[in-house]
């Protein structure tokens, strides 16, 4: 638990299907979600009652990089630092395990996510055009605040000891 935080962050050891509703908050494609839900490790944030209010999935990307594949916070617990606490723990764990960097991808249309990751210290690394297509299971016409969801932006946080 971070000082002053009402949340406890720890590893989820049970079946992932109990967390599926949280994963679905972060993923609009059932096809994509089915392909990665059981990969890597999952951190969960619990409130003072022990209820899971957020999750973050870490998967290896290569020998020196880990990827935040999925992160979501339940509606009633957003804007209370849960997402930041999950990212901070993931970064600390990754650094402690010798990773060189942590990466994450999100839709270029989702301005809230873009701001969130940059506030966490991530920097833009690349753009994947047409990442959110019906062929990958995304609904046609998917949009965030009127902005079509088409391209993904990949962010990276280098773990050089500064964060």
Q: What digits encode the pLDDT tens for the residues 94-119?
A: 999 999 999 999 999 999 999 999 99
- The predicted structure's pLDDT at residue 150: 96
Asked if 142 contacts 149 with a C-beta cutoff of 8 angstroms, the reply is yes
Domains in the chain, start-ordered, CATH in brackets? 8-158 (3.40.630.30)
Token pair belonging to 130: 């047409």
Dump pLDDT digits (tens) for 53-69.
Answer: 999 999 999 989 999 99
- E-strand stretches of 2-151: 8-11, 41-46, 52-60, 65-73, 101-107, 123-128, 143-144, 147-148
Mean pLDDT of 30-35: 95
Interaxial angle between packed helices 82-96 and 111-119, expressed in degrees from 0 to 180 and rounded to the nearest 10: 50
The pLDDT > 70 percentage for the chain reads 96
- The predicted structure's pLDDT at residue 6: 80
Please report, for residues 5, 22, 46, 113, the alpha-carbon distance to residue 51 in angstroms, rounded to integers and kept in the order given: 15, 12, 5, 24
- The predicted structure's pLDDT at residue 1: 44
Confidence class of residue 3 from pLDDT cuts 50, 70 and 90? low
- The predicted structure's pLDDT at residue 114: 96
How far apart CA 115 and CA 120 sit, in angstroms, is 9
Query: H or E stretch including 1?
Result: none
């Amino acid at each position: 638990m971070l000082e002053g935080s009402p949340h406890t962050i720890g590893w989820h050891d049970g079946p992932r299907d109990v967390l599926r509703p949280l994963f679905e908050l972060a993923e609009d494609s059932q096809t994509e979600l089915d392909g990665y839900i059981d990969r890597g490790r999952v951190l969960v944030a619990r409130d003072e009652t022990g209820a899971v209010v957020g999750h973050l999935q870490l998967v290896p990307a290569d020998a020196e990089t880990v990827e935040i594949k999925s992160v979501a916070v339940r509606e009633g617990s957003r804007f209370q630092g849960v997402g930041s606490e999950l990212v901070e723990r993931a970064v600390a764990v990754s650094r402690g395990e010798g990773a060189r960097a942590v990466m994450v991808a999100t839709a270029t249309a989702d301005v809230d996510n873009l701001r969130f990751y940059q506030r966490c210290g991530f920097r833009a690394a690349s753009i994947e055009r047409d990442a959110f297509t019906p062929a990958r299971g995304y609904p046609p016409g998917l949009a965030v605040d009127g902005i079509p969801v088409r391209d993904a932006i990949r962010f990276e946080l280098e773990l050089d000891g500064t964060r």
